[in-house]
Every structure is written in C-alpha cells, then in structure tokens.
Chain A
Amino acid sequence: MSLERLIDDELIVATVGVEILQQALVDQAVTSVVADWRPPTAGTEDALATLAERGITHAANELAIARMLAVRPQLVDVASARDVIPGMTETTFLHAGPPLTWERASGPIRGALIGALIYEGIASAADEAEEICRRGDITLSPCHHHQTVGPMAGIVSPSMPVAVVRDAGGDGVAYSTLNEGLGKVLRYGAFGPAVIDRLQWMEKVLGPVVAATLHQVGAVDLQALISQALQMGDDGHNRNRAATSLLLRSLGTGLIENNTVPVADRKEVFQFIDGNDHFMLNLLMAAGKLAVDAASDVPGSSLVTTMARNGTDFGVRLSGTGDQWFTAPAPIVDGLFLGAFTADDANPDIGDSAITETVGLGGFAMAASPAIVGFVGGTATGAIRRTLEMYEITLAEHPAYQIPQLEFRGTPVGIDATKVVRTGVQPQINTGIAHKDPGVGMVGAGLVEAPMDCFAKAVIALAATAT
C-alpha cells in the first residue's frame, strides 16, 4: 500500500510485542493479528541484524529456491561406484552425515564399515577390518561431498552398484546405493555372511539387471512418481510403499522383455523390489540430492541445502556458506519402539535420509500420510499441526508435491535458516531408529527435531560472509 493510500485505506494490522497494544486494536474493532513472538535463539541477534542490514538474503534465497525447484530428476542408470562417483578410489569409503572419524563413530557406522571392508575383500574378518580402520588405512568421506547420499550408515564402497539420477533440465547428477531391505542389513551395521552374500548378489545381479531395464524402458521420471505417491499415502521418508509400487510398474515391461538376462534372475530382481517397501527411498534421496546441489553456492542465501546425520553428529549446510558444516550432537529419536526395545537401545539419529525433509518430503509432508502418524507415535492432529508449522520456516510451496488433505497445497519446501532461529520452530524429521549396537537393525520410528544449535551456528557464519 503506497503512502497515498495510508490516507484513505482502512488499516489491517499485524502486531508483535506488548499485548495491551494489540488489545487496544481489538477494542477499536480493527482487523488485526498478533504474532506469538519470542526472542531469536541466543547468540544470533547480531547475525540477524547484520543480514537484515545487508539485505541480500531475500534475493539470494529467491534464486536458490528457484534452482532447487527447477530440477527434474530422472533415474537413468545403475553403475559401479568406482566408475561414476567423483573422487572415489579403491580405498575410499563414503558415509552418511558430516565428516567423521572411526574414533567418534557409533555402532551402526562401525559395523557397516567392517562389512564393507569384508565385502570388498580388503579384510577377511571383523578384527582385521577394525584394525585397518583404527590405523586409518582407508579414507572416510561424507557421501554429501561426492554428490551421493545414503540412508542410515550410508556406507558406499567402490564395488557397490549405485543408482545414477540426472537432471533433465540441466547437467547435474547424483548417486545413491540400492536399498537392501529391512532386518540385518549393512546400513544398520550388520556384517555377517548373509549380509555380504546379499551385497554380492546386488553387485552381480540386481545392479546390472536394473541398469539393463533402464536402458530398455528409458529414464524414469522420479518427480512424477513421487508426486503421485504423495497422493497415495506415502510421505517420502518413512513410508514409500506407493512409490516403490509405482517404480516397479515403470520397470515391469522392461524387466520381462529383457531376454539377455536369465529368467531366474529377472524373477529374483522383481521379487526383491516387490518385497522391499523402501526400495524407492534411496532413489528418492538421490533425487533430493540433485535438487539441493543445484541450489548450492548462492552467496548470501540462507537456504538449507543439507541436513544429515552420521550417528554421532547432526550436520547442516546452507547455500550461502558452501561446504561448511554446522554440527551439534545427534539427538536420540523419541517415538514408537518395536517389541521390547526402548530409548535406551537406540542409536543417536543417523543417515542422509533427512535430505527428504530438506526438499519438502517426510516430516514436511506428514499431512499427506495419516498412516505414518500411528507408526511414529503421537496424535494425528498434533503431527499435522507440526507439519503446518513448517510453512513458516520455508521459502516456498512445492509446485509438484501436493497434499490432498490440505486442499492440494504444495508441501513446505526450502528451509530458511534465519526463519528457524527467529521463530524457534525447528525442522521436523520423520525417521527410523537404529539399534546402537551394530547389526541388530531397526528398533522403531519417530519424530525428531533438527538441533537449533546447527542453525544458529549457520546463521552466524552466513552473517560473517556478508560483512
């Protein structure tokens, strides 16, 4: 409203602060609303003021979120990690979350590394593998540094087959491992013979067959699949049954028609995917990685491009602060535990799967997935309300991911770190819970809030770049 209109137009007032001033407006029958304000997270005042003074974040964020939402991820291939992942060597082992050392690693990560070393033939037994790790004879590096993402421990070794996801609208590419299924699997830190055998089968059969199928049917439009899955009750993090089903449909004819592959193998592959409701999760995570990488490195932008955990630390990165990680201790997830497990059995939060919340899925799309609520604990209204709160800390509503229960409103996408510290609203993540001991597996699922400290540190660092 221009200054001229202030003369004639009726005021509609938003207030923040002393309540009696708001009450005075109500008493005068003025249309008004009061914000439920509290001071920003301790230590961030000066940084927020600096950013407001410079005035660069709004435009930078607009650019960054536009880039994030313009990405059109397509599953095009499966290949060996050593052949496609940048920076991969014969002794490089990628892991979920921010940078980590063996000394600080938790049970699931250690177990998964042991399993990966045995699988690669570098070690023949657990104690040998441990010794190699302790000596530092291998290189540990975050998946995120290599255009890759992995759920739970997220270990990627050279021989593993990885999905290749490309941007149809640009030249970005991202990778992820293929999902092993539930129970005793590498990503939960298991390393027994069954685990190794399965990994071998995935390398020799699953990977090549899916690759051949993709060459046959052409690229699979992951964006379209995810959008549909959201309207079928998936949330894109803890519930992926619809998406996995849709994926199988996309691959189906290609699988059947491929006569170069033995029938037995084709059947095994079909049954493997069919029996694993979370098969789509890894691919969906790679699609997310493509989107966040596209949005990275915009100077001055407070858009969150990474939320990831390594079982010890929770790490956050912003577009405007490049590769810098901002970490805090990974929280213990509070939720529903399977069987007789309790919070005492739980490992701290782990995995790159918070990439889904970073791109408007998972905890940010819970209203689309009522079934999830019972699974993660809590009430339906409470969980949906928490999802609604996410709109206040995000930059946009997703053009493709829509929530039928909210009149097809786009999911809240593009977390703005400055909004997180100003509102006190932390991003809400739906996640599985791993047992703290290697190899036991999933013990439950729940909701966890990304630690405020990460965002506080990030905003302070962003302000430093602006001065």
Chain B
Amino acid sequence: MQHLLAGPSRPGTLLGTSEHAIWIASDDDVLVLSDREAVRLPNAVEFAVDDLGHWIDGDDAVLVGDGIVQIGWLTVTPRRWFDPRPSLSRCTVSDLARTARTLPENQHALATADLVNALASENEEEALQSASLLLGRGEGLTPEGDDILAGALASFRLLGNAVGKRPWFLDSLEAGVAALTRTRTTSFSGALVRHALHGRVARPFAGALHALTGRGDIASSIGHLLSVGSSSGPALVAGLAIGSSAITLEHAQ
C-alpha cells in the first residue's frame, strides 16, 4: 500500500462502508480502512479505534497520495506499516503432507479437484479455466469462489516457498488471472485475489499457514480462520486445502 500513498495526491472512489471498514478504489487497487474489530486484510490501513464506519458520509470526496488518504474531513496518516506477506518456516513436503491432513474435510461445493491438478501439473490453461469458473461465484462481499481461488493461490505460493519451490508458474499465471479478476468480480474482491496471488494475505490466513509449517496450534488457527466473515472462512480453508494438496501432490508425482 506504500506505493499507493507515495504518489501525488489524486482522486479515489468510495466503494462502500460497513460498521468496521471503509473501502476506497484508487489506481488499480482497493484500499481498506478498518478498525480493531475487522479482520486485517493485506490491503488495509488499520486504526486503533472502534466503529470506523460511522465516521464518514457516503458522498465524501476521496483523495489518495502524498502519504495520506483524505475522505471529506477525515485525514488518514498511516503511522506504522506491516508486511502482509508472512515469512513461513522452512519445512519438508512430508511434514506439510502430515500437517495438511489435519485440515477439515473439504465440503465446499465449489471446490474442485481440477484446480488441484492444474496447479500440481503446472497447466496454465486448465488453471485459468478453473479460475474463471470460480471468480464471481457465490454470495457475499467476497464471493465464495473468489475466496477459494485466493486461498488456493496464496497457499500454493507461500507453502511452495516454504518447501523450497520456485514460484515461476504463478508468475506466469499472473497476467491471465489479473485480467479475469477485472471482469468477473467486484473490484474489492478482485483486488484481494490479485494480492493473494502475490502471497499477500489476511492475518488469520497467515496464522493458519504458520501453523501448517510448525509455528502455532493448527486447530485453533483453523478455527480462527473459519470464523472470518460470514462465508469467507470455510471458503478460505477450502482454498488452503487445495493449495497444500497441490504442493504435496506435485512432489509425489
């Protein structure tokens, strides 16, 4: 988000507000202003306050740049930066296979074995095909299909790093996936999928990844992840299962 704020001041678009968050579109990205109650997303500026959504009006003008965000009278100056890409401990594929087995049974209707295979065999066409079927499908601020895809891409990249795999395949997917996100789903959700592809994730998801690589308790971190949002939690866990399966499968082949 630093690059977003570093440039000159330019107008942004207020996409929406909830009790705990404000969403702003700027350049090709979405910036989320959220309070303590909200889940920390990778593209968030987090405030140590409560009930942030009550602070602004729907028709306030938005400016982003020169280090600040301005919404109507509200000027936001980020004071502290966090890195939404977790650094995971190194682990072996067999260790990962063992911990991934403890993930809950995948019961999500939209989750497909196709995506697992496409990632494991590094088949670009099939991967994009799966992505286009998932994007925009389902209910919620972030449709469940988007969450599954985001979870799968992020875990495939980050767990891949942890077992020593190079992310070239994902890099080659980037253009195609990005193009799909711009047409098939909301700008907010699409931004999150693009961040996920680069390994930039929400905090509860990072916690689950840490647990899978041996730092922290799996049951409690998965439990925490499941409770995110109204439908996002289980979809993200399903995505996590897909990504980790793809890693372990690939190495089994």
Residues of A within 8 A of B (CB): 4-5, 8, 26-32
Contact = CB atoms under 8 A, between A and B. Distances in A.
Nearest to A27: B79
B164 to A, nearest CB: 22
A30 B216 CA distance: 23
Interface residues of B, number: 10
A30 B48 contact: yes
B47 to A, nearest CB: 6
A30 B36 CA distance: 10
A29 B215 contact: no
A8 B48 contact: no
B215 A31 contact: no
A31 B36 contact: yes
Nearest to A31: B48
A268 B210 CA distance: 77
B interface SS class? loop
Given A4-B215, A8-B210, A8-B215, A28 B79 contact: yes
Given A30-B80, A31-B36, A32-B48, 11 more contacts: A4-B215, A4-B216, A8-B207, A8-B215, A8-B216, A26-B48, A27-B79, A29-B46, A29-B47, A29-B48, A31-B48
Interface in B115-157: none
Contacts, number: 21
21 contacts: A4-B215, A4-B216, A5-B216, A8-B207, A8-B210, A8-B215, A8-B216, A26-B48, A27-B79, A28-B79, A28-B80, A29-B46, A29-B47, A29-B48, A29-B79, A29-B80, A30-B48, A30-B80, A31-B36, A31-B48, A32-B48
Give the 10 A-B residue pairs with the shortest CB-CB distance, closest first: A29-B48, A28-B80, A28-B79, A31-B48, A29-B79, A29-B47, A31-B36, A29-B80, A30-B48, A27-B79
Interface string B38-57: 00000000111000000000
A29 B48 CA distance: 5
A8 B216 CA distance: 10
Interface of B: 36, 46-48, 79-80, 207, 210, 215-216
A256 B36 CA distance: 63
Contacts of A29: 46-48, 79-80
Contacts of A27: 79
A8 B221 CA distance: 13
Contacts of B47: 29
A123 B207 CA distance: 82
A295 B216 CA distance: 41
A5 to B, nearest CB: 8
Contacts of A31: 36, 48
B191 to A, nearest CB: 22
Contacts of B207: 8
A26 B210 CA distance: 29
A26 B46 CA distance: 13
Contacts of B36: 31
A10 to B, nearest CB: 8
Nearest to B203: A10
A5 B210 CA distance: 11
B49 to A, nearest CB: 8
A196 B41 CA distance: 79
Contacts of A8: 207, 210, 215-216
Contacts of B215: 4, 8
Nearest to B48: A29
A425 to B, nearest CB: 28
Nearest to A30: B48
A409 B176 CA distance: 57
Contacts of B210: 8
Nearest to B215: A4
Nearest to B210: A8
Contacts of A28: 79-80
Contacts of A5: 216
A26 B47 CA distance: 10
A30 to B, nearest CB: 6
Contacts of A4: 215-216
A38 B144 CA distance: 53
B217 to A, nearest CB: 10
Contacts of B216: 4-5, 8
A56 B122 CA distance: 63
A8 B47 CA distance: 19
A149 to B, nearest CB: 47
A5 B217 CA distance: 11
A8 B204 CA distance: 12
A364 to B, nearest CB: 30
A30 B215 CA distance: 24
Nearest to B80: A28
A31 B207 CA distance: 20
Contacts of B46: 29
A85 to B, nearest CB: 56
A391 B207 CA distance: 35
B40 to A, nearest CB: 8
Most buried by A among B46, B48, B80: B48
Nearest to B86: A8
A5 B207 CA distance: 11
B149 to A, nearest CB: 26
B88 to A, nearest CB: 11
Nearest to B82: A10
Contacts of B48: 26, 29-32
Most buried by B among A4, A27, A29, A32: A29
A462 B11 CA distance: 68
Contacts of B79: 27-29
A26 B79 CA distance: 10
A29 to B, nearest CB: 4
